[in-house]
Amino acid sequence: MSAEAVATSSAAAPATSRKNPAGIFLVVGIIGLAIGLGALVMGIQNNDSRLALSWLVGFTFWFSVLAGMLFLTQISYLFDAGWVVVVRRQMENCLAAFKWLWLLLIPVIALPLLMDNPGLVWRWMDLDAVVPGIHHTTVGNDVLYLHKAGLLNVPFLIGRLCIYALVTCGLAFLLRKNSFSSDLEINPKYYKNCRKISAVGIFLTAFTATFAVFDLLMSLSYHWFSTMYGVWFFALSMRLGIAATAVLCFHLSQQGRLKGLYNQSHAYFLGCLALAFTVFWAYISFSQYFLIYNANIPEETFWYNIRELNIDGSKSAWWYVSMGLIFGFFVIPFIALLWYPTKIKPWRFRTISCWIMFMGLIDIIFNVVPIQEPVDNILGFQVLPFLSPALLVDVAVVAGIGGICIWAALRSAAKQEPIPLHDPRVLESIHAAE
């Protein structure tokens, strides 16, 4: 049977058996965003940073998922991998969400500026704000800020974010355009174009993801710095991108669109990648901690100290979260993915993939939320807590932004073939074997 015949029969099934659920996800997205937007406005009015940070948590989670898929798509082209062709088309559909995702970053940046509370999320945006832990010193008079002021200023930040959006959206557009064009015409130029785009784009994506996480996450505590932070985010993105792809392909293979196209071997290879990046994430996370601990520089160590200790020296709730990440985000997935049946049995692989996505969200909360707020105590600051009603807002915003992203992906999928019909390795992928 030809690739065209397989694709046609598989694509026809869902059209007759069920309606496209894109509209459902759009409604979920709008409701979640409405809740998040209300919480953001309330946080700005009440000077509550925790409510505002929920929006950044939701954006970062889905940005990491899409960045991971963009990395995987380009890597698959560069390595000319055969098994991944069927899987890659599903990631290409998801890349349609990039343009909506960047638009959804605007509220958390624009609203605090427009409502005269610019330092609510990123304290360095308000030069008159008191620096946590340094009594009676404002950001504008902080020596460490003055050394970074050329980078940490609002106009330059907005300009950089626009560049990041152009790079990711541009690469997604070019890869999708050439891939989808190959369905209409038998011409090897489209596949070659994707390989050329990926050869340049993989570096652009790496720089974009690195500097985006510097600007959005690391600058939340602008005194702190880590040269490994971008690599941590790459590892996280790959883990979440692989997990989301595995869940998506499992769903599509069950509901008909990829039935007979996505097989056990695809799941096995995705499982191997998931295991590899589980180890890589653990290595990077430990290396960052070890190097900072070993150097013992106050401008670096405080980032971990505020995630471990209360003001009285006792262990804080964030310490237990960090232990949860060690065991829940490394040990459990590592042991599970070492086991061959986990990779090939659909329900097991789907379960561990969903678990990885859940723990990835916890990892993002661990990196975003525990920022310092100035208060009148012996330390001059307090750390935002883990357990708070704002966790429900986190869930709402993640669901809201996720609903929009999934809606965009489903819209793209409804217009395209389930597999790249004329890809030179499509039949190799359909008949992939371990």
Per-residue model confidence (pLDDT) at position 133:
81
Give the model confidence (pLDDT) of 285-324 as tens digits. 999 999 999 999 988 999 999 999 998 889 999 999 999 9
> Per the structure block, which two tokens stand in for 233?
């985010």
Residue written as token pair 């990440």: 325
Q: What is the mean pLDDT of residues 72-92?
A: 95
Cα 419 from Cα 46, distance rounded (Å): 50
Cα 310 from Cα 300, distance rounded (Å): 18
Range of the domain at 287: 3-430
pLDDT band at 375 (very low <50, low <70, confident <90, very high): confident
Contact assessment for residue 402 and residue 66, using Cβ atoms and an 8 Å cutoff? no
> Per the structure block, which two tokens stand in for 204?
């652009």
Buried b (16+ CB within 10 A) or exposed e, 262-276: bbebbbbbbbebbbe
Number of structural domains found in the chain: 1
Dump the DSSP string for 280-305.
Answer: HHHHHHHHHHHHHHHHT-HHHHHHHH
Per-residue model confidence (pLDDT) at position 304:
95
> Per the structure block, which two tokens stand in for 34?
């409405």
Give the model confidence (pLDDT) of 160-201 as tens digits. 999 999 999 999 999 999 999 999 998 999 999 999 999 999
Give the model confidence (pLDDT) of 192-224 as tens digits. 999 999 999 999 999 999 999 999 999 999 999
- Strand 372-373 and strand 382-383: the pairing is antiparallel
Dump the DSSP string for 98-140.
Answer: HHHHHHTTHHHHHHHHHTT-TTSSSGGG-TTSBPTTSTT-BGG
Contact assessment for residue 183 and residue 418, using Cβ atoms and an 8 Å cutoff? no
Q: Which residues contact 117 (CB under 8 A, 6 or more apart)?
A: 44, 47, 126
- Residue 420, sorted as left (phi over 0), alpha (psi -120 to 50) or beta, turns out to be beta
Angle (CA) 300 383 122, round 5°: 70
Q: What is the mean pLDDT of residues 42-46?
A: 96
Residue written as token pair 């992928």: 429
Cα 145 from Cα 152, distance rounded (Å): 8
Cα 11 from Cα 18, distance rounded (Å): 12
Give the model confidence (pLDDT) of 126-135 as tens digits. 999 999 887 7
Per-residue model confidence (pLDDT) at position 17:
41
Q: What is the mean pLDDT of residues 77-90?
A: 94
Per-residue model confidence (pLDDT) at position 29:
97
Q: Comparing C-alpha atoms, which of 172, 186, 48 is closest to residue 120?
A: 48
Contact assessment for residue 316 and residue 304, using Cβ atoms and an 8 Å cutoff? no
Cα 310 from Cα 39, distance rounded (Å): 27
Cα 265 from Cα 248, distance rounded (Å): 16
Among 136-145, 297-306, 333-342, 375-384, name the one with the lowest average pLDDT: 375-384
Cα 353 from Cα 358, distance rounded (Å): 9
Partners of 373 in the β-ladder: 382
Q: What is the mean pLDDT of residues 82-97?
A: 96
Contact assessment for residue 51 and residue 43, using Cβ atoms and an 8 Å cutoff? yes
Give the model confidence (pLDDT) of 390-413 as tens digits. 999 999 999 999 999 999 999 999
Per-residue model confidence (pLDDT) at position 19:
61
> Per the structure block, which two tokens stand in for 258?
């990829």
Total residue count of the chain as it appears in this document: 434
Asked whether the predicted pLDDT for residue 2 surpasses 50, the reply is no
Q: Is the pTM of this model over 0.85?
A: yes
Give the model confidence (pLDDT) of 3-25 as tens digits. 454 444 444 344 334 566 899 99
Q: How far is CA 151 from the centre of its chain?
A: 24
Asked whether the predicted pLDDT for residue 387 surpasses 60, the reply is yes
Per-residue model confidence (pLDDT) at position 11:
44
Per-residue model confidence (pLDDT) at position 1:
44
> Across all residues in the chain, what is the average pLDDT?
93
Cα 114 from Cα 61, distance rounded (Å): 25
Q: What is the dihedral of CA 96, 102, 105, 110, to 10 degrees?
A: -140
Helix axes 346-368, 229-255, angle to 10 degrees: 150
Q: Comparing C-alpha atoms, which of 205, 187, 188 is closest to residue 197?
A: 205
Start-to-end Cα distance in the chain? 21
Element (H, E) at 363: helix 346-368
